[in-house]
Amino acid sequence: MDCDWAPDDDADELEVSNQTVGPANGSVQYLFRVFKRKYNKQQISSDERFGMWLVRAHSIDEFRSTLWELVRPHVKRAIEVSSGGSGVGYVFRWGGPAEPSEEDAPQFVTFCEKKNKKVYTWNHLSKAVTLQRWQDLEIILAIHEYSTSLKTRAIYQLALNTFLAPTSASKPTTKKPAVVKKPLLPPAADGYSFRDEVRALRETFSQMRSLMTILDSRITLLEQKCDDAALVAVQMESTEAGAEDPLEHFQLKVEKLDCDEEDD
């Protein structure tokens, strides 16, 4: 049985309110820090999750009865767990009465010494001297909601599924909607139905639309290339200084050619 302290995801719904009960002049009294557990391995949370119970009485029997009256609203009917043998897993059954009494307290209450992490049972409260020894110790009262038989979170979940999950008989049955049969379309003259023809036309149209998109993109690209094309300027190189210009003394000699034939 664990007596550890650490943050816990389930602590928000397990808080216990502060209580002061019993006569102020009681000779037997103790201040407990109280934490409620769903299963044994559930780690006791940080300080703000605890309730503080100051219990006072004139005798140890009165002290036990007063303490149980504070515990009783926080417990439910005990669940007992046993091993079902190889391949069976765990077997769960209700244990004890539907309304637990003080006689069932050992199934629901343990005491944890914070410093040494020592665990005490309910039966340790049989003598007032026990509380006297605890006066110099910090004792945490752990309340086990479904008894100390639920050791781990996995077992706790299995137990809840066994006892609290709705059965198939209790689940409301819903009628399945009637299936409405669609009328068949008459076939075309060539053996295909009108729906087949529509599907074929849609596929053809889709292919044509894809082709048009490709062509449009290609045309746009070519137009952009035409717009970006730059004119290349042709520049005549100048002659070097002192070089003779070959056209400076050029003369065109024209000769007159007589192409007429002489008469005989």
- In the chain, the number of structural domains is 1
Is 54 contained in some domain?
yes
Say if residue 111 is exposed, middle or buried (CB neighbours under 10 Å; 0-12, 13-18, 19+). buried
For the CA atoms of 238, 242, 243, 245, what is the dihedral angle to 10 degrees?
A: 80
Q: Is residue 68 part of a domain?
A: yes
pLDDT (tens digit, 9 = 90+) per residue, 83-114?
766 656 778 888 888 899 999 999 999 998 88
Render pLDDT for 161-192 as a digit per residue (tens, 0 to 9).
Answer: 887 665 444 444 555 555 555 544 455 555 55
Cα separation, 51 vs 82, whole angstroms = 32
How many CA atoms lie within 13 Å of 125's alpha carbon, on the beta-carbon side? 25
Instruction: Give the gyration radius of the chain's Cα atoms.
Output: 50
Is 62 within the bounds of a domain?
yes
42 belongs to a structural domain: yes
Closest C-alpha among 96, 40, 45, 46 to residue 72? 96
In a domain, 206, yes or no: no
Question: Range of 145's domain?
Answer: 17-76+102-150
Contact 123, 64 (CB under 8 A): no
- Asked whether 42 and 13 are in contact (CB, 8 A), the reply is no
pLDDT of residue 210: 83
117 inside domain: yes
Among 141-145, 160-164, 169-173, 250-254, top mean pLDDT goes to 141-145
The whole-angstrom separation of Cα 237 and Cα 205 is: 60
Q: Report the predicted TM-score, pTM, of the whole model to 2 decimal places.
A: 0.56
DSSP-derived pairing of the beta strands 118-121 and 90-95: unpaired
Residue 258 lies in a domain: no
